[in-house]
Amino acid sequence: MAGDPRPATRRVAALARNVGMLAATAGARLEDDPVRLAVLAVRRLPLRARRPVAAALVRGGRRSGRPVLHGLGLVLADRPDEARSLLGSRVPPGRLAGEIAVELGLTLPTDASAAVRARRTWQRGDLAGAVEVLRSSDARGARRQAARLESERRTYLPGQRLAGPPPGRHRRPAASGRTGGVSVLHLLTNSLPWTQSGYALRSHGILRAQRAAGARAEAVTRVGYPVVVGLPWAAETDVVDGVPYHRLIPRRLGATPEARLEQAATLLAGHVDRAGADVLHTTTHYVNGLVAEAVARSRGVPWVYEMRGQLEKTWLATFPAGERETVRASERYRLWRAKEVETARAADHVVALSQVLRRELCAAGVDPARVSVVPNAVDAALVEAGRTSPAPPDARRSVGLPEEGMWVGTVSSLVTYEGLDILLHAVARLRREGLDVRCAIVGDGSARAGLVRLAGTLGLDGAAVLPGRVDRSAATAWVWALDLVATPRRDTEVTRSVTPLKPVEAMALGRPVVVSDLPALAEVVGDEGAGLLVTPEDPDALADTIRELYADPLRRSEIAGRGREVAATRTWQEMARRYLSVYQTLGSAR
């Protein structure tokens, strides 16, 4: 008897829908911001594929005498400083030149289109000004782009809310009739298996632990994800380690940000109804809060807003230090900052990543009784693995590193504010002193190409290894291969209040850590000697600390032991109990 053809037919229909959505999204992005689209697309390629694309553009630009093409290749190779030097202060005319000028922060060419001028204005935080540039233009597509930007600007405005989904049949089971614990539905920006990031890993750790503690915890991701990031073949539900991740995939995406958020609310409400959710839980940034609030109010369930970061401060940190005061005063920064506080005040409860962030929220007017801290944590199994971790030389064999020398480094996202150039300078200084200190920086990101070049400039060939992104299973082996794990973050507003996950993982795995002396990082290592603090952005201070530990293996071992003890108190299993306590409190208050 032939099998039922309907599942296969549905999969084909879903794939066709997804391909159409991706094509429409890419087409709109190609018209609005082609260089940024190219950068994002190329960065999604593996390193072995990305390098030839960028190199071909660089060669083609050189041979043809076209500096703009050459500059595009440098941008795609994550070499923006070289591109700025090449193009200088006078960018030649042309659409592509204008787009590259926006990407690099250069003076726009004299023939820059309204779309390019609007994008530069928006990039600098003048939202209303960008809309006005497009409104005053009669260029093709300007009206559509103005409507899109105006819609996005409205989401920033104080008091702006979504209309909310239509009434549904929310089935919230009576307590006496339940077969499991509290039912919680998480709204996420992205997730495993398609995104490997600290955000996705934290979400997964929380969901696994909540399910293990008896909660009926599931997740949905933002509207269009993961199709809109180039994955049209993705399933409508992925199950990873027993955790269901549902996708909100409409037939076609709305034309404006507000329309897409309304779509998200309608689709999410359907999942809330089917799950009979007791609690809706979402994370930064505020657009997730707008969707969660609309659905929660329409269905009569409480909602939790988890502030894992401060994306307005992350955006601010992308600008050169000399420009940050101006950007901080911009319309976008002021509205964004206020909107995050407004969202936190609107939620039934707020979860902060650190005590530093909690204090900021309370100072901004959020009721302290409604703010709990749930820091970054690790799975208990990682702590157990750390108790029997291999010696660094043995672990180095498994990842192909030389056994000799003292290896310091990290497994991280490679972005500028992580300060990994400071680590390279510190290692170079120690090697000039004759110490066999070496460096491994594992991961990928916009700063990687610059770090590779810096390692060569500092004469660290063979002593500095940057293998690129590795999968989750390999990441543990790389941490074990290090004698010392460093988090030399720069001193910015975002790094002072937001804590990374990687130092906690390193502590759990039995490796000593050294971190910048910033409030959020000091909170990670605590007062128990679980790690060492160094002055941020000071390669000499970092070199001094590494030198001390180079000469004292016993102290390294003591710090690692204390770090593992602290990490043992910060497991996702323990954090799950905190979450469930919050959910139960919200339920009893209703």
- Helix H, strand E, coil C: the string for 504-548 is HHHHHCCCCEEEECCHHHHHHHCCCCCCEEECCCCHHHHHHHHHH
Is the model's pLDDT at 377 over the cut of 70? yes
Is the model's pLDDT at 174 over the cut of 50? no
For residue 31, what pLDDT is reported? 78
433-484 pLDDT, tens digit each: 999 999 999 998 889 989 999 999 999 999 999 999 888 789 999 999 999 9
The answer to the question of residue 94 being in a domain is: yes
- Residue where a domain stops, chosen among 121, 140, 156: 156
Number of C-beta neighbours around residue 197 at 10 A? 14
Give the Cα separation of 554 and 545 in Å (integer): 14
Same-domain check for residues 327 and 236 = yes
The answer to the question of residue 170 being in a domain is: no
Give strand pairing partners of 411. 442
Q: Does the bond joining 285 to the residue before it have cis omega, within 30 degrees of 0? A: yes
Same-domain check for residues 451 and 422 = yes
What is the span of the domain harbouring residue 56? 27-156
Is the model's pLDDT at 179 over the cut of 50? no
Is the model's pLDDT at 178 over the cut of 50? no
For residue 166, what pLDDT is reported? 83
For residue 46, what pLDDT is reported? 75
The answer to the question of residue 165 being in a domain is: no
Same-domain check for residues 49 and 188 = no
Average pLDDT over residues 509-529: 92
What 8-state DSSP symbol labels residue 364?
T
User: Residue type at 47?
Assistant: L
For residue 447, what pLDDT is reported? 92
Number of C-beta neighbours around residue 405 at 10 A? 19
112-121 pLDDT, tens digit each: 999 999 999 9
Helix axes 539-550, 553-568, angle to 10 degrees: 100
Is the model's pLDDT at 176 over the cut of 90? no
CATH number of the domain that residue 554 is part of: 3.40.50.2000
Same-domain check for residues 288 and 338 = yes
Same-domain check for residues 217 and 243 = yes
Q: Which token pair is 466?
A: 């940057």
The answer to the question of residue 384 being in a domain is: yes
Same-domain check for residues 363 and 397 = no
Which three-class secondary structure state does DSSP give residue 280? strand
Average pLDDT over residues 343-362: 96
Which of 172-181, 333-342, 414-423 has the least mean pLDDT? 172-181
For residue 95, what pLDDT is reported? 84
Same-domain check for residues 339 and 418 = no
For residue 29, what pLDDT is reported? 78
Is the model's pLDDT at 232 over the cut of 50? yes
87-144 pLDDT, tens digit each: 987 788 888 899 899 989 899 998 999 999 999 999 999 999 999 999 999 988 899 9
pLDDT tier for residue 5 given thresholds of 50, 70 and 90 = low
The answer to the question of residue 174 being in a domain is: no
Contact assessment for residue 374 and residue 575, using Cβ atoms and an 8 Å cutoff:
yes
Average pLDDT over residues 254-276: 95
- Give the strand order in the sheet containing 243-247: 237-240, 243-247, 216-221, 183-188, 279-283, 303-307, 349-352, 371-373
Domain count, the chain: 3
Candidate ranges 67-81, 176-190, 400-414; pick with highest mean pLDDT:
400-414
pLDDT tier for residue 39 given thresholds of 50, 70 and 90 = confident
Same-domain check for residues 298 and 340 = yes
pLDDT tier for residue 560 given thresholds of 50, 70 and 90 = very high
Same-domain check for residues 344 and 260 = yes
Same-domain check for residues 498 and 481 = yes
Is the model's pLDDT at 229 over the cut of 80? yes
For residue 36, what pLDDT is reported? 73
The answer to the question of residue 472 being in a domain is: yes
Mean of per-residue pLDDT scores for the chain:
92
Same-domain check for residues 538 and 417 = yes
The answer to the question of residue 40 being in a domain is: yes
For residue 181, what pLDDT is reported? 86
Same-domain check for residues 106 and 227 = no
Percent of the chain residues past pLDDT 90, beyond the cut: 77
Which three-class secondary structure state does DSSP give residue 409? strand
| Residue 532, CA atoms < 13 Å, CB-side half-sphere | 24
The answer to the question of residue 348 being in a domain is: yes
